Amino acid sequence: MSANSKNLSLFLLLINFLFFSCCNSLLDEQGQALLAWKKSLNTNSDALPSWNVSNKTPCNWFGVKCNLQGEVEEISLKSLNLQGSSLPSNFQPLKSLKVLVLSSMNITGRIPKEFGDYQELVFIDLSENSLFGEIPEEICRLSKLQSLALHANSLEENIPFDIGNLSSLVNLTLFDNKLSGEIPKSIGLLTKLQVFRAGGNKNLNGELPSEIGNCTDLVVLGLAETSISGSIPSSIGMLKKLQTIAIYTTKLSGSIPEEIGNCSELQNLYLYENSISGSIPRQIGELGKLQSLLLWQNKIVGTIPEELGRCKDLSVIDLSENLLTGSIPISFGKLSNLQALQLSVNRLSGIIPPEISNCASLSQLEVDNNAISGEIPSVIGKLRSLTLFFAWKNKLTGKIPNSLSECENLQALDLSYNRLTGTIPKELFVLKNLTQLMLLSNDLEGFIPPDIGNCTSLRRLRLNRNRLVGIIPSEIANLKSLNFLDLNNNHLVGEIPSTISRCRNLEFIDLSHNKLSGNLDAVSNLQSLVSLNVSFNKFSGELPNTPFFRKLPLSDLTGNSISKAKDDTKLAMMIILFILLSTSAVLALFLIHVAIRAYIANNINNSWVMTLYNDHFFSADDDVVKNLKPSNVIDTGSSGVSYKVKTPKGQIIAVKKTLPSTDSEALMSEIDMLCSIKHKNITRLLGWGLNLLNNKDMMLQFYEYLPSLSSVLHGSEKGKLEWDTRYEIILGVAQALTYLHHDCVPSMLHADVKATNVLLGPGYHPYLTCFGLVKIASEKVDDAKSNPVQRPTYTSSSYGYIDPELDSMQKINEKTDVYSFGVVILEVLTGKHPLDPSLPEGVHLVQWVKSHLASKRDPFEILDSNLRGSTKPTTMHEILQTLAVSILCVNTKAHERPTMKDTLAMLNQFRYFV
């Protein structure tokens, strides 16, 4: 190569280097568009630190992927907190953008119409944000779009009429929004659609369009918890690839079309909680891959088709709460994979077919509330996986088969309200896992076997209304978990065994209408006891002198020869006189104290130094101290007095003034905690102040004034709250406590959960407040040497919410909050204060509810009047489930209560998969 050629090559290389260096130093149009969106984000922190101008291309930025030509093809961002930011409307320069994922980002606002300009988009996921407004029609211009995920937002209005223009669409998920209107008929044009889920949109109405049959690739159809009505169209039979139909808790009517038998790939058929009538089509027997058949709570008539026995993959059959007649098909014995068979509350007759014993995987067998007769088949013992067998309220005869003892996993057995005879087989009591044995209202005779002591997991034992004789076996003492014992209306004799005092968990005992004798000393030490009925026996002697027996209703003692414990009247009068004199002296001193403090308060208004976090309500110069008058007091707690104050700006705030005796170190600890706690369901501290003349012993805390849950439940709005509002309040408080217990480091205990400490903002949004008793659970570790936090000093306003275990252990832990939360749930459900004077004989709300439920009366009788009027099945289900959670929370034994994390999980589960 000549020298000139070499020089020319070097010159060209230099020019090329300078040119591209210059160009690459400038961020391209794509990067500028991305940075412009980042700049618009409403966040205090840099959520996307790698997105900056120091990079020559956005291709290496977090969440960004490019093709070989350096064109942005994918933006995938998940679970970042963008704090209410908006969606991008300026991505037109990203001409090759195919994938846009912005899920779980706390994004709000509307979906921009400009999304229709991103013509290359194949995949959009904007799920689990706070988007509102309508789905823009412009989005229907994206002819290449294959997946559109908009679920779990607050989108409104109709599904776009032109949704059928998305001819490439494979996945469409719109569930859990606020969509309304009908499903457009144009959905039938989506011939490639595989997943369509729009459940959880309560106002989505109209019929399922018959055009859905044109979506022949459809695999999942989910429209649960909507207002879809009418019949399932016969065109459903054209969907031969369909695997799941979930249209439960809607307004479906009419019959299930026979054509459903053509859906040869169908695995899950969920049509429960509707108004479906007609019979179960025999063609369902053609669905060889069917695994779950849930048709409960409808108006289905006719017999159960024998053809169902052909569905060899069936694992769950639930046909409960219908109008089915005829017998249980013998063909069910062919279902070797069947795990749950639920036929409760129908009009079935015939017998329990022995062939059912061939279902080796069966764990739940529920045939209660029918007209089934005959004997329980002796071969039932072959069901080794059986955990629950309910056959109560039928016409069963014969003896309880000994073979049930071979069902070693059995946990619950209820054969009540039948015509069973013979003795209770002692073999039953080898079942170590049995927790519930219900044999009441039969014609059983003989003794209660001493072997009952081997059944150590037993919690509920009901043998009442039989013809049992003999004594109560002393071996009952081995039932350490026993909670409910009902032996009424038998022929039992002898004394209550003294060993029963070992059953520390016993809460309910009914021994009425027997021939028992002796005294009641054996049950006097049962600390958990909340209900005892020994009426119509032969008991005698003196009633134990304990608080429980002093409050025991006379009706529970009728028909015996028991006298009340003696008391010393003179001593009682002296004690009363002493209390009156002491109270008068204390009251006089208190009035003097209040007068002195009022005088001081009026002269030291300028001695307060304020620290404000939000000056929207008032400024540090505003004199709010002068309004801290007795006439403005709204609550008195153990750590201070709260006032309602109007600021010079016209805002209403709540001011909490701590008492002079409050420890200053504890006060600052509370301030530090309140500043560190940030949760949507925990009250926001506006500021605080210290009194310099009191050496920091007096402190003010400022909050936005909001009405309390107690004032709403028991004030002018009493009884007006709808169920959804009450549920959201309960859920919000549960979220706040879960945050304190499980998300704070170190974890915190509120220690004073009550309705007055739950404030309600706009839309009844709940806030947990009053952290004067909060304890840092620094000593609360999983260690045998750990010490529970000392019990705080409560005021009278907290009584009724306090964990009963505190009476003995004087300590608190996270289960203390769980108990109080359970009481708050009951207060929300019943509308009654825990110590409501209208409760019979002055019982506590918890005791009243438990006694009501124990008597098997209608649970809805205890509910607030507004809730009793609800007839929607879903609402009734959620209320009963919430009631069940509250009973778990108010268990008298702290270690048996769920954690707040588990409690929240249970509350969240009531809203089904859609």
Report the first-to-last Cα separation within the chain, whole angstroms.
75
Hunting for tokens 């002697």 — which residue is that? Answer: 541
303 CB-contact burial (10 Å; exposed 0-12 / middle 13-18 / buried 19+): middle
User: 3-class DSSP state for residue 180?
Assistant: strand
The helix (run of H) or strand (run of E) holding residue 292 is strand 292-294
Q: How far is CA 561 from CA 180, 471, 538, 542, in A?
A: 68, 20, 7, 9
- C-alpha dihedral sign at 591, 593, 595, 597: negative
Do the bridges between strand 685-691 and strand 608-612 make them parallel or antiparallel, or are there none, so unpaired? Answer: antiparallel
Question: Between helices 723-738 and 900-908, what is the axis angle to 10°?
Answer: 150
Structure tokens given for 644:
């309602």
Specify which residues 531 forms β-bridges with: 508
Q: Are strands 766-768 and 340-342 parallel, antiparallel or unpaired?
A: unpaired
State how far the Cα of 510 lies from the Cα of 490, in Å rounded to an integer: 11
The SS3 assignment for 311 reads coil
10 Å CB burial of residue 57 (0-12, 13-18, 19+) is middle
Candidates 125, 752, 803, 817; catalytic one: 752
Q: At what angle do helices 723-738 and 814-830 cross, to 10 degrees?
A: 170
**Cβ–Cβ < 8 Å for 144, 118:** no
CB neighbour list of residue 884: distance below 8 Å, 6 or more residues apart = none
| DSSP secondary structure code for residue 701 in this structure | E
Which is nearest to 279 in space by CA: 252, 307, 257? Answer: 257
Task: Give exposure, 235-262, as e/b (b: 16+ Cβ within 10 Å).
Answer: bbbbbeebbbbbbbbbebbbbbbebbbb
State phi, psi for 16 to the nearest 5 degrees. Answer: -60, -45
- Which residues are CB-neighbours of 88 under 8 A, at least 6 positions away? 33, 37, 112
CA distance 827 to 834: 7
Contacts of 187 by beta carbon, 8 Å cutoff, 6+ apart: 159, 163, 164, 193, 196, 209, 211, 212, 215
Both tokens assigned to 502: 């070992």
Q: Bridge partners of 699?
A: 690
Q: Which amino acid is present at 362?
A: L
Q: Is 510 a catalytic residue?
A: no
Handedness of CA 318, 319, 322, 323 (dihedral sign): negative
- Could you count the other beta carbons within 10 Å of the beta carbon of residue 451? 16
* Helix 814-830 and helix 900-908, axial crossing angle in degrees, nearest 10: 30
Distance CA 625, CA 606 (A): 9
- What length does the chain have? 914
Structure tokens at 822: 């359970």
Helix (H) or strand (E) holding 907: helix 900-908
- Concatenating the DSSP letter of every residue in 459-510 gives -EEE--SSEEEEPPPGGGGG-TT--EEE--SSEEEEEPPGGGGG-TT--EEE
Which residue(s) pair with 74 in the sheet?
65, 99
Residues belonging to the active site: 752
